[in-house]
Amino acid sequence: MKIINRAVNVILLCTILCITGCSQSQKTDQTTGGEKPAVSSDSSNAAGSEEPAVSYVQMLDYNKDLTRAQKDDNYRTTYEIFVYSFCDSDGDGIGDLQGIVSELDYIEDLGFDALWLTPVHPSSTYHKYDVDDYYAIDPAFGTMEDYETLLKECHDRGIRVYMDLVLNHTSDDNAWFAAASEYLHKLPSGSEPDTSDCKYLDYYNFSRESSDGYAPLLGTDWYYEARFWSEMPDLNLSSEAVRGEIRDILAFWLGKGVDGFRLDAVTYYIYADPDANVEFLRFLTEAGRSIRPDCYFVGEAWTDRNTIAQLYASGIDSLFDFPFSGNEGFIANIINGTYKASDYVKGMLLAQEAYSSANPDYVDAPFYTNHDMGRSAGYYAADEGPVTKMAYAMSLFMTGNSFVYYGEEIGMKGAGKDENKRAPMYWSDDPDDPDMCAGPPDMDEFPMKFPSVAEQMKDNLSLLTWFREVIRVRNTFPAIARGTTEGVDSLSDDNVAAFIRRDPENGDLLIVMNLRADTAVKEMTGAVSAADGVDSAGIDRGLTLAAVLNTGEEDITYEQGVLTLPGYSIAVFTLDNIQ
């Protein structure tokens, strides 16, 4: 099933939505809710064959005229692709670069405007996080020409491309390590090594002493630092020679047109030395910007808020906001009821204060899951969709450059060992679908919880439809990604999270989220005070319901200053009367 088939499905879905919306003459103004249109359960095509009923969902009609605000900055909505498992173009069962090119229509239609590809450099592992050669493309993924084609096709669509750059370690097959290893094997017993004879000795951390985090160099009495795995020797990032190599690597890929870099394992660069990690990140960002001023960096710092804030002092653009992610993070604990809905706002305020104090120009990098985490659809066993939908909306409604792991938009499952978290993109149920990958070696067999892309494209209530609409709203209102957050205590409680997103350049927003299953009713008149920047005496003039997001078929209504939010839904207001 090639992308043209998915594009046709999108066109058909839009046609169905248009027919559904245009035929509802009894429907009144959306701001007051109105009646739902009746939807036949036995509609059929001209040939008389049965077609499934089309679910009515308010947001599809209400938001249909929203248009993307054209912005060219680092505040993006980024799609993470685990290359090995995404789309196979040549029938070998392995995802590749041409497969990604073939699915750019799908990615663009969802509203993503940046891609993060997991490592594409040559490596003997399926995940490629141990690099053999920083200047090449793994043959399993394609050629350098394929990568250049991908860059061009993305840039033609306004999509940026971030390269996953693994600098903490290389593979033990890397030519640098091989040369150093060969030298030490030949070094006479008792002799001292000399970097003038082999400069690559300085590229790694060798020692004659065995200690924690070091692996033996077999056949010698030497050890080398390898914090992750013996086949991943750590680079000596304090070495000027290594830093010179890194400058060359940055220049090579920026010259190819790469827009930035995702940095792996930044808290391990110089082990147990936070100040040295900050210094190295400062070197790295300054080196990249000296080559290309708009070079973007986002770092993986799997740690707490305070440590992330310390790393922001380096001047790096973004760091992944791990405290909100995963099945034990802020979002999961709020959506499952462990924390109050109002704690979502408090968490965003704490992050905003910590990160902006360290770097006023920071761009947060919220995400919910990635290739190292269990899939979010597995967090809520009894959920049939609404909870998973809202959890991801909470991530996408945070400020910054928001990241979404491939397959999360259709609720893929995968937990336990790493291979399971990197299962093939679920394009269809057809076993002969040529786009489907075989998946990583040693991956378990397990059923998916939600339908495939092909099936979800036909369903107005699907996760896929929800993601498209959430990203549409995010892309329409720049304040969602670019503004600063202010809490609205009068509206926030155990079930509802309400906050203002301040953006003097693009306009302020009031966002109200019902994070529970029960309907919430909020008296808006006077709820947002003049201190919040809204004329409370003219609240009905001050607030305009600009967008709605529904996880079900119940309408969001706003009448005479009263907002009614069905379970798991979101209302977005523009603020017209700013003080």
The 10s digit of each residue's pLDDT in 220-272 is: 999 999 999 999 999 999 999 999 999 999 999 999 999 999 999 999 999 99
Q: What is the pLDDT of residue 51?
A: 55
| Residue from 427, 544, 534, 546 nearest 488 by CA | 534
DSSP one-letter code for 460:
T
Q: What is the share, in percent, of the chain residues with pLDDT greater than 90?
A: 86
From the list 164, 234, 264, 503, the catalytic residue is 264
Identify residue 489 by its one-letter amino acid code: D
Question: Residue 460: what pLDDT?
Answer: 97
Distances in Å between the alpha carbon of 380 and those of 220, 256, 446? Answer: 51, 43, 17
390 shares a domain with 286: yes
pLDDT at site 541: 53
Are residues 126 and 84 in contact, defined by beta-carbon separation less than 8 angstroms?
yes
Answer yes or no: is pLDDT of 49 > 90. no
Residue 485 domain-assigned (yes or no): no
Domain extent at residue 193: 175-225
502 falls in which pLDDT band (50, 70, 90)? Answer: very high
What DSSP element (H or E) covers 312? Answer: helix 305-312
Q: Coil, strand or helix: which one is 339?
A: coil
Residue 409, pLDDT > 50, answer yes
| Residue 495 within a domain | no
**Distance in angstroms (rounded) separating the CA atoms of residues 120 and 461:** 35
The burial of 5, by beta-carbon neighbours within 10 Å (0-12 exposed, 13-18 middle, 19 or more buried), is given as middle
Beta partners for residue 114, in sequence order: 78, 160
Per-residue pLDDT at 526? 75
179 with 164, same domain: the answer is no
Containing 252, the helix (H) or strand (E) segment is helix 240-256
Residue 34 confidence (pLDDT) above 70: no
pLDDT at residue 542, rounded to an integer: 82
> What is the per-residue pLDDT across 426-437, written as a single tens digit (0 to 9) for each?
999 998 999 999
How far is it, in rounded angstroms, from Cα 183 to Cα 176?
Answer: 11
Asked if 225 is an active-site residue, the reply is no
Q: Which of 36, 62, 88 is the last residue in one of the domains? A: 62
Where residue 422 sits, what CATH number does that domain have? 3.20.20.80
Q: How many folded domains does the chain comprise?
A: 3
Q: Rounded to whole angstroms, how far apart are CA atoms 94 and 281? A: 34
If asked whether residues 384 and 279 sit together in one domain, one would say yes
Model confidence at 528, pLDDT cuts 50, 70, 90, reads: low
Work out the pLDDT band at 83, boundaries 50, 70, 90: very high
Among 225, 242, 265, the domain boundary falls at: 225
Same domain? 31 vs 81 = no
The answer to whether residues 83 and 52 belong to one domain is no
Beta-ladder partners of 78: 114, 403
Residue 537 reports pLDDT greater than 80: no
Distances (CA, A) of 303 to 128, 311, 356, 564: 23, 11, 17, 38
Per-residue pLDDT reduced to its tens digit, 93-150? 999 999 999 999 999 999 999 999 999 999 999 999 999 999 999 999 999 999 999 9
* Structural tokens at position 16: 């169905």
Residues 213 and 314 in one domain: no
3-state secondary structure (DSSP) of residue 133: coil
103 and 132 in a common domain: yes
What average pLDDT does the segment 70-89 reach? 98
The DSSP secondary-structure symbol of 408 reads: G
Q: Tokens in use for 505?
A: 């350049």
Give me the residue label for tokens 């992050």.
Answer: 351
Asked if 236 contacts 224 with a C-beta cutoff of 8 angstroms, the reply is no
Determine, yes or no, domain membership for 210.
yes
Cα–Cα dist 307/281, whole Å? 14
| Burial class (CB within 10 angstroms; exposed 0-12, middle 13-18, buried 19+) of 448 | middle
Task: Compute the mean pLDDT over every residue in the chain, rounded to the nearest whole number.
Answer: 91
- Domain end point (choices 62, 94, 113): 62
CA distances from 556 to 59, 106, 329, 396, 571 (A): 9, 29, 28, 20, 7
Span 184-192, average pLDDT: 94
Across the range 403-424, mean pLDDT stands at 98
| pLDDT, tens digit, 9 for 90 and up, residues 359-392 | 999 999 999 999 999 999 999 999 999 999 999 9
Please identify which of the residues 300, 459, 508, 554 carries the catalytic annotation: 300
415 is a domain residue: yes
Domain match, 371 and 455 both: yes
Same domain, 259 and 384: yes
- Rounded CA-CA distance 250/260 in Å is 9
CB–CB of 549/573 below 8 Å?
no
| More confident of the two residues 245 and 532 | 245
The distance from CA 545 to its chain's CA centroid, rounded to whole angstroms, is 27
User: Taking a C-beta distance cutoff of 8 angstroms, is the pair 293, 339 a contact?
Assistant: no
Contact 162, 261 (CB under 8 A): yes
Considering the domain architecture, whether residues 15 and 161 belong to the same structural domain is answered as: no
> Tens of pLDDT along 269-326?
999 999 999 999 999 999 999 999 999 999 999 999 999 999 999 999 999 999 999 9
Return the pLDDT at 45: 34
Least confident of 113-127, 204-218, 244-258, 513-527: 513-527
pLDDT of 10 above 60: no
Q: Does residue 465 fall inside a structural domain?
A: yes
Which residues are bridge partners to 139 per DSSP? none
CB-based burial label for 346 (10 Å; 0-12, 13-18, 19+): middle
Greater confidence (33 vs 493) lies with 493
Give me 137's structure tokens.
Answer: 């493309």
Residue 25 has pLDDT above 50, yes or no: no
Backbone conformation region of residue 456, classed left if phi is above 0, alpha if psi is from -120 to 50, else beta:
alpha
Name the percent of the chain lying above pLDDT 70.
Answer: 88
- For residue 97, the surrounding DSSP H or E stretch is helix 97-102
Separation between Cα atoms, residue 204 and residue 181, nearest integer Å: 10
Cβ contact 400:365 at 8 Å = yes
Give residues with Cβ within 8 angstroms of 13, minimum separation 6: 457, 458, 460
User: What's the pLDDT score for residue 431?
Assistant: 84
Give the pTM: 0.91
Same domain, 189 and 142: no
How far is the CA of 306 from the CAs of 302, 303, 342, 358, in angstroms?
12, 8, 21, 10
DSSP-based helix, strand, coil % in the chain, nearest 5: 35, 15, 50
Query: How sure is the predictor about 529, in pLDDT bands with cuts at 50, 70 and 90?
Result: low
Please indicate whether residue 300 is annotated as part of the active site: yes
Q: What is the dihedral of CA 145, 147, 149, 151, to 10 degrees?
A: -140
Which pairing describes strands 562-565 and 557-559: parallel, antiparallel, or unpaired?
A: antiparallel
The three-class DSSP label of residue 378 is helix
CA distance linking residue 156 with residue 108, whole number of Å? 11
Burial class (CB in 10 A: 0-12, 13-18, 19+), 140: middle
Tokens of 189: 């017993």
Q: What pLDDT band is residue 538 in, cutting at 50, 70 and 90?
A: very low
Q: What is the 3-state secondary structure (H, E, C) of 347-359?
A: HHHHHHHHHHHHC
In a domain, 523, yes or no: no
| Whether residue 28 has pLDDT greater than 80 | no
Does a structural domain hold residue 161?
Answer: yes
Within a domain: residue 318? yes
* Number of continuous H segments (helices) and E segments (strands) in the chain: 16, 18
Q: Are residue 18 and residue 34 in the same domain, yes or no?
A: yes
Q: What pLDDT is stored for residue 23 in this prediction? A: 37
Q: Does the structure show a pLDDT above 70 at 441?
A: yes
